[in-house]
Amino acid sequence: MTASYPEPGTPPSDLLRWAMAQFGNRFVISTSFQREGMVLLDMAARLDPQVRVITLDTGRLPEETHTMIEMVRERYGVHVEMVSPDASEVERMVTQHGPNLFYGSVPERKLCCQIRKVRPLERKLKEVDAYAVGLRREQSETRESITAVSEDRGKVKLSPLADWSNEQVRAYIAEHNVPQHPLYEKGYPSIGCGPCTRPTLPGEGERAGRWWWEDSADKECGLHFTPSGKVLRTVDVLLEQVLQPNA
Ligand code: SF4
């Protein structure tokens, strides 16, 4: 990475402008079409409607996310690049562990996220030098230390909304009439795969509905944070069994 990075505190739109000028077609916005990702997409499309947008089509997305993708295509005219998992890896995983393995144990859940999210994203990121995501520090304990610009997997990773509040996100959406995912209206504050996301109860945290059957300490999918310790080692073993079933 040879680019000199923008100063801390650079406004999100200026960060996106910098990345689009610096990296051109080798910059993408990676989004699951939650509010934060839609703010980034809206900002970037105002700068250049040809901006590349990628999303992980895990094979377990709720129907409402497909509806949202159609809304985005129509509103912004972008071709959302759908990134799918390797079909043979999914076949072997669900044959070995069942289609709903995520409910069985934390390592099995993280194995599913590895096969359906992390590995497809890593494959897609080989096409680019930089990408932007909608992470915010106040979303959860695991996100408290993210910075607006970092390096990850050998790429420049932008989190332009790192220090934005939920209120700032909502204010931007209201001001610019940004489309919102249909599941927000049904009580989902955070949206992921269908079987792993539920609406939250009053007083629960923003990500309490993600993998709600697990402890809160490590509720990430591995896209942004690596599982640690025993879980990581167990996931590695399970992953090896999926990738090399006859080894
Ligand atoms: S969120 Fe659930 S269904 Fe989606 S990849 Fe992770 S474990 Fe699998």
pLDDT in tens, 132-179: 999 998 876 667 778 899 998 789 999 999 999 999 999 999 999 999
Q: Would 89 be classed as within a structural domain?
A: yes
Q: What's the mean per-residue pLDDT of the chain?
A: 90
Q: Would 1 be classed as within a structural domain?
A: no
What is the whole-number distance in angstroms between the Cα of residue 13 and the centre of ligand 1? Answer: 31
Q: Provide the pLDDT for residue 157.
A: 95
What is the whole-number distance in angstroms between the Cα of residue 208 and the centre of ligand 1? Answer: 15
What is the whole-number distance in angstroms between the Cα of residue 7 and the centre of ligand 1? Answer: 36
Q: Provide the pLDDT for residue 135.
A: 93
The tokens for 24 are: 């051109």
Q: Would 6 be classed as within a structural domain?
A: no
Q: What is the pTM of this model?
A: 0.89
- Nearest partner of 149 among 166, 167, 162, 165, judged by Cα: 162
Identify whether the C-beta of residue 232 lies closer than 8 Å to the C-beta of residue 217: no
Residue range of the domain that includes 175:
12-243
Q: Would 3 be classed as within a structural domain?
A: no
Q: Catalytic site residues?
A: 221
Q: Provide the pLDDT for residue 8.
A: 86
Report how many domains make up the chain.
1
**Residues flanking ligand 1, CB < 6 Å:** 58, 60, 102, 109, 112-113, 116-117, 192-193, 195-196, 221
Q: Would 2 be classed as within a structural domain?
A: no
pLDDT exceeds cutoff 60 at 99: yes
Q: From the CA of 221, give the closest atom in ligand 1.
A: 6
For atom 6 of ligand 1, which residue has the closest CA?
113
- Nearest partner of 16 among 105, 142, 133, judged by Cα: 133
Mutate to test the pocket of ligand 1, among 116, 214, 218 (most ligand atoms within 8 A of CB): 116
For atom 2 of ligand 1, which residue has the closest CA?
196
Q: What CATH number does residue 191 fall under?
A: 3.40.50.620
Q: Would 88 be classed as within a structural domain?
A: yes
Mutate to test the pocket of ligand 1, among 117, 188, 191 (most ligand atoms within 8 A of CB): 117
18-30: pLDDT as tens digits:
999 999 999 999 9
Q: Would 200 be classed as within a structural domain?
A: yes
pLDDT exceeds cutoff 70 at 2: no
Q: Would 94 be classed as within a structural domain?
A: yes
